[in-house]
Amino acid sequence: MPEIKTHAGGCHCGRVRFEADTDLAMVAGCNCSICTKRGALWNFVKAPQFRLLKGGETLTDYQFAKKTIHHLFCPNCGVGAFSRGIAPNGEDTYAVNVRCLDDVDVTQLTIRPFDGKKL
């Protein structure tokens, strides 16, 4: 069983930094229009498992389609290190872009496809 660890991450320029407590057992590659263009790989954590350490006041919010997910990105470097929204069960949830985590080799992870085009 994978071990839950605290992973630190952030945007390219370092203005946005966060921590997430997760085991990275489930990493999703979404095929929706924005995820495909971003190349994001997502790991979902409940709100208490996510801590924004700095840069929250600078984030820019982008929403499209149903406008249920806040695609947040650094206005300085343009990197979207995480998004936030409401999970199907009603819980506040963060989608952490695994590519923005420090010291994580994505080639060592199992990436599961997610059909976001159908949402």
| Cβ contact 97:82 at 8 Å | yes
pLDDT by residue (tens digit) across 40-50? 999 999 999 99
Looking at residue 3, its pLDDT comes to 87
User: In whole angstroms, how far apart are CA 74 and each of 47, 52, 64, 114?
Assistant: 20, 13, 18, 25
Q: Which amino acid is at 40?
A: A
In degrees rounded to 5, what are phi and psi of residue 98?
-60, -30
Average pLDDT for the chain: 94
The domain 5-110 is placed in CATH, from the list 3.40.630.30, 3.90.930.60, 3.40.50.1220, 2.170.150.70, at 2.170.150.70
How much is the pTM? Answer: 0.92
Cα dihedral sign for 4, 57, 102, 42? Answer: positive
Domain ranges of the chain: 5-110
Looking at residue 68, its pLDDT comes to 87
User: Confidence band (pLDDT; 50, 70, 90) for 1?
Assistant: low
